[in-house]
Structure 1
Amino acid sequence: MGAFCFPRAARLLKKGDFARLRQSSRRIGSRYFSAEYRSNEDTVARLGQAVSRRVSKLAVQRNRLKRLVRESFRRQRLQLPGLDILVIPRTAAVSLPGPELLADLELLWSKLPRPQR
């Protein structure tokens, strides 16, 4: 596997992982996305997504947002600290072109806390 893959170990998959994240997390936001994060025991970042029907009634639009978030995370994964991150798009994100959303996600990743060395 290449450095820019999205392996199973980099995903939040279990209901308990999401519950722990929602229970004790910090929040950051950008113009079109918000995120909740908390440190995990691993040294790798893990991604979870929550794209509800409130964002868009059309599954095609919700899936497009999820693909864009995954792609952006996949590119930044190795530079991110060991955090569990839940990304939630805002309704305004639906109508925007992909490059603008990717730029906004880059801003979101840059707001995550970096470990002290």
Structure 2
Amino acid sequence: MPDNQFSRRSRLLKPAEFKQVFDHTELRGSTPHLLVLATHNELGHPRLGFVLAKKQIKHAVARNRVRRLVRESFRLHQHDLPAVDLVVLGRGSLVALDNQQIREMIDALWFRLKRPTHGKRAPGQRKSRPKSGR
């Protein structure tokens, strides 16, 4: 049976780890309430970090509720996710949703991130631009 803990090794902890995701975003999933950015890692397991700004979500209670719900969903889906570093960014409209709506939304985002990327460019590969005829 897989280990469903959310241990320290499953978290983004250092500013450099967050910067890596922001600077080299390879996968992205969004809704009007949440944005999930991801980049592949070499660790063999997914890791999760949060950016829930006071400016977007005013009350600590609401930020903590969102963290708790996303962590729980991640904990249950981490064995199905590829080896990526994920950063979840919350938007202000998120506090208007109830717990069930947030769970369904984040589960749908995990599903999008789990899909194979057939026909898409390899991780780290940039889009090629057509050469101009100048």
Normalised TM-score (structure 2): 0.79
Which 5+ residue runs of structure 1 have no aligned equivalent?
A: none
Give me the whole-angstrom Cα distance separating, in 2, the residues matched to 1:30 and 1:72.
16
| C-alpha distance in 1 between matches for 2:114 and 2:107 | 14
Alignment match, 1:97? 98
1:37–1:86 Cα contact (<8 Å) kept: yes
Corresponding position of 1:20: 20
Q: Is the 8 A contact 1:45 1:77 kept in 2?
A: yes
- SS of corresponding position for 1:88: strand
Which has the higher mean CA deviation after the structures are superposed, 8-17 or 18-27?
18-27
**Aligned residue number for residue 10 of structure 2:** 10
- Whether contact under 8 Å (1:31, 1:104) holds in the other structure is no
Which residue does the alignment assign to 1:49? 50
Q: Report the equivalent of 1:69.
A: 70
C-alpha distance after superposition, 1:59-112 (max 9, x if no partner): 111111111111111111111000000011221110211011000001100111
The structure with more helix, counted as a fraction of residues: 1
Q: TM-score normalized by structure 1?
A: 0.90
- The amino acid that maps onto 1:23 is D
SS class of match (2:29)? strand
Length, aligned pairs only: 115
- Following superposition, which runs of at least 4 residues in structure 1 exceed 2 angstroms of deviation? 113-116
* RMSD of aligned residue pairs (Cα, Å): 1.6
Q: Is the 8 A contact 2:80 2:114 kept in 1?
A: no
Query: For 1:33 and 1:46, how far apart are their aligned partners in 2?
Result: 17
Q: Which amino acid aligns with 1:50?
A: V
Higher relative contact order (CA 8 A, sep 6+): 1
Q: How far apart, in 2, do the equivalents of 1:57 and 1:112 lie?
A: 28
Is contact 1:55–1:91 with CA below 8 Å preserved after alignment? yes
Q: Is there any run of 5+ residues in structure 2 with no aligned partner, and where?
A: 118-134
Q: Matched residues in 1 for 2:51 and 2:103: separation? A: 17
Instruction: Say yes or no: does 1:83 pair with 2:64.
Output: no
Structure showing greater radius of gyration is 2
